[in-house]
Amino acid sequence: MRLLLLCFLCFFISIRMSLPSPTELELLLQVKASLDPENRYLTSWTPGSDPCSTRSFEGVACNEEGRVANITLQGKGLSGRIPAALGGLKSLTGLYLHFNALNGEIPKEIANLSQLSDLYLNVNNLTGKIPPQIGNMANLQVLQLCYNKLSGSIPTQLGSLKKLGVLALQYNRLTGAIPASLGDLEMLTRLDLSFNTLFGSVPEKLANAPILKVLDIRNNTLSGNVPPALKRLNAGFQYENNLGLCGSGFSNLRDCADSSKVFTDRPEPFKPNGLYKKDIPESANLHPSCSKTPCSSPSNKSQIGVIFGIIGVVVAFSVIGLFTFVWYRRRKQKIGSAFDVSDGRLSTDQVKEVYRRSASPLISLEYSNGWDPLDKGRNGNGFSQEVLESFMFNLEEVERATQCFSEVNLLGKGNFSAIYKGFLRDGSVVVIKCIAKTSCKSDEAEFLDGLKILTSLKHENLVRLRGFCCSKGRGECLLIYDFVPNGNLFQYLDVQQGSGIVLEWSTRISIINGIARGIGYLHGSKGNKPALVHQNISAENVLIDRKYNPLLSNSGLHKLLADDIVFSTLKASAAMGYLAPEYTTTGRFNEKSDVYAFGMIVLQILSGKREVTQFTRQAAEASRYEDFIDTNLEGKFSDSEAAKLGEIALLCTHESPNHRPSMENVMQELSGLIGSS
């Protein structure tokens, strides 16, 4: 009898064991209580229901065995703590808690998640140290802890993460040395340690990581010789704002030999070196420049705030511009338009409405995860299957990148599109342009041709298209571009003295040159890339990258948009004076109208002003530099270069298109000028 009871008990226990949901349910409820103590956001997580059966728990996905595999709660407004109980969800492969306001420490129990491949805790308010136990998580591929308030040093144990591909620790308060063990990471492609207070030297061994592509150590207090082997990363290696670093063959770095005078007080913890040898113990340089300038990379949130703020203002400005014009257009022409100025994004109801009303063939496409313009049957018109496939994004990926298109990531809204910032799994930052499908070309073939053209564009002076995706549910087509960090050219115009960045003369010349090359590239045809007129060259559509190179944005976009929408964007650029005069009479665009807009931009760059007046033009014609060249330059420019550029600008903006040079001519003229300077 006893035996029977025991067996029964065993049986019962084994059932309990093989039925995961009860225990995992309990764990999930503990997780909820900790992440969302006030039960504001995870209301669907209720006792008595099965988290797996019906996908009833928001953000919880289970595998075939009925175990919790992914928890996806980014950008949900969670303000609690990360519970140790999470460590019990043994089958978890993905934990996405980024873009919340979680505080407290990262529990070491998280390291019990031996199946976990993706750990996203970035952009929260987490404090304390990085648990060294994380080094035991053998399956970890992506570790995103950036934009928190983590302190302490980087655990050397992270060097054991054999599968780790991305380690993002930027914008924390990490101190100490960079562990040399990170050089053991054979799968590491991206290592971002920027904006911390790390000190010591860059370990030689780091260069051993065989497939490392990006190493960012900016804004730390690192010192010593930069390992020469890191040169192979080229632009992927960023090291600015580390006062103590030296090395030869890296631009902007002093040669180590002549650094003794300035930096003798900075010992070299890892490389005893004649020059730096001093009797200072390693720990003595804990506070070199940190205590003086508290290395207060301002709170991460305010950082983001500033970036978003700037972009927001710019976008707002362009939206206002657009507004004014559309208003103008309506007043002038009294055309009832098919697009709503107030908001290009459609609510779900509106989308449904559109579905009912519109018989657009585009809508009949299979969208989202399953959007399949590559369907072989449909693909008769010479589409390169592989190329397009390489540009396809999964909607889930985009949602993850933008925390489900959260307002927090919204950079701006236009009358037909919304623009979000996002973080991809590989750690790179992107901008996602969401275009309401009603604003897209309604002819499916034309639209796909447009996409094809967009994917064929590749030039160092064009913003790079990473991919696209269409969401049936959202009624939108999404274009994913590289994020360009320094805003657009427009915000470098009308700079008030003392506020804002005044571009140096040489920077202005290289920007002008870069824009010319970008347009020149568009105008030419090469391989499968057809000749293309940009149609909307403007200071807003010239983005400025980290190194102040100009990148043209929205190239080829008109190939995707409905005519009416294209028209509205043109009106906006007319407001700024970029529209060539002949457009008014012919209504057509050609290369020479891009040249005209380019000439306007050159005048803007030279004068530093948003508005190019007749006075500016006359001053340029008469070579009266004092009235023509930006006074913010305080005379620091070359007369001969100013004369040449002024001449080019005036020619490009000639009333008659036939008198304007081709972009190729312009580039030739410019290259002469750059060679001589």
Ligand X SMILES: *[C@@H]1O[C@H](CO)[C@@H](O)[C@H](O)[C@H]1NC(C)=O
Which own/partner pairs from 291-299 qualify as long-range (CB within 8 Å, at least 24 positions apart)?
A: 295/197, 295/221, 297/171, 297/195, 297/196, 297/219
- Please state the closest distance from residue 95 (CB atom) to ligand X, in A: 10
Per DSSP bridges, beta strands 190-192 and 166-168 are: parallel
For residue 293 the two structure tokens come to: 């300038």
How many residues bind ligand X, per CB under 6 A? 20
Residue 421 is labelled as binding a ligand: no
What is the smallest separation between the CB atom of 533 and ligand X, expressed in angstroms?
40
Q: State the minimum distance, in angstroms, from the CB of residue 173 to ligand X.
A: 12
Nearest residue (beta carbon) to ligand X: 101
Rounded distance, CA 594 to CA 578, Å? 9
Query: Binding residue for ligand X (CB under 6 A) from 133, 139, 160, 350?
Result: 133
Please state the closest distance from residue 61 (CB atom) to ligand X, in A: 3
State the Cα–Cα distance between residues 634 and 149, nearest whole angstrom. 42
CB of 191 to ligand X, least distance (A): 18
- Selected from 44, 115, 125, 428, the binder of ligand X by CB under 6 A is 125
Q: Among 44-52, 58-66, 426-434, 451-459, which window interacts with ligand X (CB under 6 A)?
A: 58-66
Q: What is the C-alpha separation between 599 and 577, in angstroms, rounded?
A: 11
Residue with Cβ nearer ligand X (81 or 301): 301
> Which residues ranging from 81 to 110 are in contact with ligand X (CB under 6 A)?
87, 93-94, 101, 108-109
| 147 contributes a contact to ligand X by CB under 6 A | no
Least Å distance, CB 319 to ligand X, is 27
Residue from 69, 119, 217, 533 touching ligand X (CB under 6 A): that is: 69
Nearer to ligand X, 93 or 604 (CB): 93
The reply on whether position 61 binds ligand X by CB under 6 A is yes
Quick check: 442 binds ligand X (CB under 6 A)? no
CA distance 473 to 162: 39
Pick between residue 218 and residue 609 the one whose CB is nearest to ligand X. Answer: 218
Q: State how far the Cα of 444 lies from the Cα of 437, in Å rounded to an integer.
A: 11
Which positions ≥6 away from 521 have C-beta within 8 Å? Answer: 459, 461, 462
Q: How far, CA to CA in Å, does 391 sit from each of 237, 379, 384, 427, 452?
A: 26, 16, 11, 17, 10
- Binding of ligand X by 112 (CB under 6 A): yes
Nearer to ligand X, 113 or 642 (CB): 113
Residue 155 binds to ligand X (criterion: CB under 6 A):
no
The distance from CA 150 to its chain's CA centroid, rounded to whole angstroms, is: 23
In 3D space, the residue among 405, 550, 581, 437 whose CA is nearest the CA of residue 484 turns out to be 550
| Tokens describing residue 301 | 């949130």
Residue closest to 176 by CA, chosen among 206, 153, 157, 196: 153
With respect to ligand X, which residue has the nearer C-beta, 123 or 580?
A: 123
Contact 346, 436 (CB under 8 A): yes
The residue type found at 92 is: L
Contacts of 154 (CB under 8 A, 6+ apart): 130, 169, 174, 176, 178, 179, 182, 193, 198
Tell me the per-residue interface mask from 286 to 325 with ligand X, x by CB under 6 A, - otherwise. Answer: -----------x---x------------------------
Contact map string, positions 204 to 223, toward ligand X, x by CB under 6 A: ---------------x----
| Contact pattern for ligand X over residues 185 through 204, marking x by CB under 6 A | ----------x---------
Contact by Cβ (8 Å): 81, 57: no
Which positions touch ligand X (CB under 6 A)?
61-63, 69-70, 87, 93-94, 101, 108-109, 111-112, 125, 133, 195, 219, 241, 297, 301
Residues making up the binding site for ATP? 437
